[in-house]
Structure 1
């Protein structure tokens, strides 16, 4: 198995005893550019072509290789070391202390002469990209389901002091589709059913609006549900409190992005058709009370500066 080293002194000793040692920074390319251990090359372990591209950098399988990441608790170096060993590299070392341990001792790092600085969040109101922002709905009964899209007609996120402060998303219920019935004779039948007063009463209530006035950061880890949006949902003329847990962050272009999946009890907003709580003996007309919604929103312009 890969040999573990913890400290910069151990890495120094390894380089002395193995002059051919290849030192590989397996972090993101942009992190490598901001600062890396002297003499290290970069190959990001998150890339699916990690092994292929590393082989293209003239590393031999009989050559000693030492990989490192950002810090002991981040697993990129151990992941890379395991991949290399499985690929047949005979002398693999994992500098688990990583860049954090190196810098803790005040050791120098290499970086380009012009290094990208940290990006700050601009305050202000940022409209949504309506082409890229979407809502997917899923409705079910006991053994079947339908799913489709509903259009976002407008929306914005307001940032204050570097964090989301408030915002709103307006959904146009006149622009609802059913993907699994697309092109079939039952598509329009279902859509008319959803638009009628059985469900959303679109003639009288053509829009639904989620507006939030408080955003709670609940984790610093990207990729998890790190944000809670506290607000209200107005649907079919009824306004109820709603909190959405979401995964939020920034795209490589600096746009703010958010993804969320939530289960919505439609009966709380007066959508009662087919509900077993309100009707007896529905037979095949039973419809689950819960509608599943998948939300993706993206700002039209960059939030980072």
Structure 2
């Protein structure tokens, strides 16, 4: 695989198994998270998680010298974990390194013994696979929209509560995400008297005019898969109608969706909007002159973390 260690000494499962039954077996280093290590691992393996920022400190407590014979293994052939670990240890001066590229999954498939509480290949979270008829209500306690507005003297950030529902229809994700605009809060001015001044201003007709327009809504009308379908990158682009202050415009928003379990999904959204398209023109130099320190940049950034819980299917 591109970017992996080219000079790593590789062992097959059978070669490692032979070494493990010798009188002087190598140190077998499991580099997966300790939660995974506790469930399934190679016999006699020790653990130092490659994703831990203190990985090298952890390994120093496991090895006696830089010449110790060490065999590194991670998840499996297609995971970069073993390569990253090999490079770190190699650069740290360890001289007797080997790798089991097949990883714990290849070891299991080959039928060799393992230790741990479950002794089987572990399931991972997966991108949402659209079927038909499932529906989720947005968990209002866990879900939140974070916003950031900017000006040439700094920025402000805060939160807005969200609700709504999502459902599957014709092989696509649909639904409505509703923002309670009266719940808007500022976070960076906590303890400052200006906090209530800013929040009042955001609720006023200069900005979101929440007395007349208490909610904003994003209605998903179409979704398309992206080219990359992984757990950490947007898998879907949602096209929908964003309504703010009684004005509606079509927007496209990338969605990163994971199934956390059989009943819960998580959705991460990041997007920018030009607020002036929705009639929020306060402090915009496109509409006013001589603003001085009242200038407010036109672009608002939003980050929304949603948690959907299974509900009664839509009719």
TM-score, normalisation: structure 2 = 0.76
1:205 to 204, 213, 221: 213
Whether the 8 Å contact between 1:170 and 1:209 is mirrored in structure 2 is: yes
Residue in 1 that maps onto 2:72: 67
1:77 aligns with 2:78: no
Give the drift of 1:248.
2.6
Residue in 2 that maps onto 1:269: 278
Equivalent-residue separation in structure 2 for 1:45 and 1:25 (angstroms)? 9
Sort the Cα spacing of 1:113 and 1:225 in 2 relative to 1 into closer, same or farther, 3 A.
closer
Residue in 2 that maps onto 1:171: 179
1:234 aligns with 2:243: yes
Whether the 8 Å contact between 2:180 and 2:215 is mirrored in structure 1 is: yes
Local SS of the residue matching 1:267: helix
Give the drift of 1:224.
2.0
Equivalent-residue separation in structure 1 for 2:100 and 2:294 (angstroms)? 62
1:125 aligns with 2:130: no
Aligned length, in residue pairs: 297
Give the drift of 1:40.
5.3
2:300 to 281, 284, 291: 291
Q: CA RMSD in A?
A: 3.7
Whether the 8 Å contact between 1:18 and 1:64 is mirrored in structure 2 is: no
Sort the Cα spacing of 1:35 and 1:183 in 2 relative to 1 into closer, same or farther, 3 A.
closer
Sort the Cα spacing of 1:231 and 1:18 in 2 relative to 1 into closer, same or farther, 3 A.
farther
CA deviation vs aligned residue, 1:13-40 (integer Å, no higher than 9, x gap): 7668884123334335676688766775
Whether the 8 Å contact between 1:38 and 1:109 is mirrored in structure 2 is: no
Equivalent-residue separation in structure 2 for 1:33 and 1:187 (angstroms)? 47
1:46 aligns with 2:46: no
Residue in 1 that maps onto 2:202: 194
CA deviation vs aligned residue, 1:131-181 (integer Å, no higher than 9, x gap): 2111111111223211111222x22222469x8621221111111112222
Sort the Cα spacing of 1:81 and 1:229 in 2 relative to 1 into closer, same or farther, 3 A.
same
Equivalent-residue separation in structure 1 for 2:44 and 2:167 (angstroms)? 44
Sort the Cα spacing of 1:254 and 1:300 in 2 relative to 1 into closer, same or farther, 3 A.
closer
Q: Which moved more, 1:18-27 or 1:5-14?
A: 5-14
Residue in 2 that maps onto 1:144: 154
Equivalent-residue separation in structure 2 for 1:253 and 1:37 (angstroms)? 29
Residue in 2 that maps onto 1:135: 145
Q: Which moved more, 1:234-243 or 1:36-45?
A: 36-45
Give the drift of 1:9.
6.2
Local SS of the residue matching 1:23: strand
1:108 aligns with 2:111: yes
Local SS of the residue matching 1:191: helix
CA deviation vs aligned residue, 1:240-259 (integer Å, no higher than 9, x gap): 11111133324479631122
Whether the 8 Å contact between 1:26 and 1:80 is mirrored in structure 2 is: yes
TM-score, normalisation: structure 1 = 0.78
Whether the 8 Å contact between 2:236 and 2:256 is mirrored in structure 1 is: yes
Local SS of the residue matching 2:79: coil
Which segments of 5 or more consecutive residues in structure 2 lack a partner in the other structure?
none
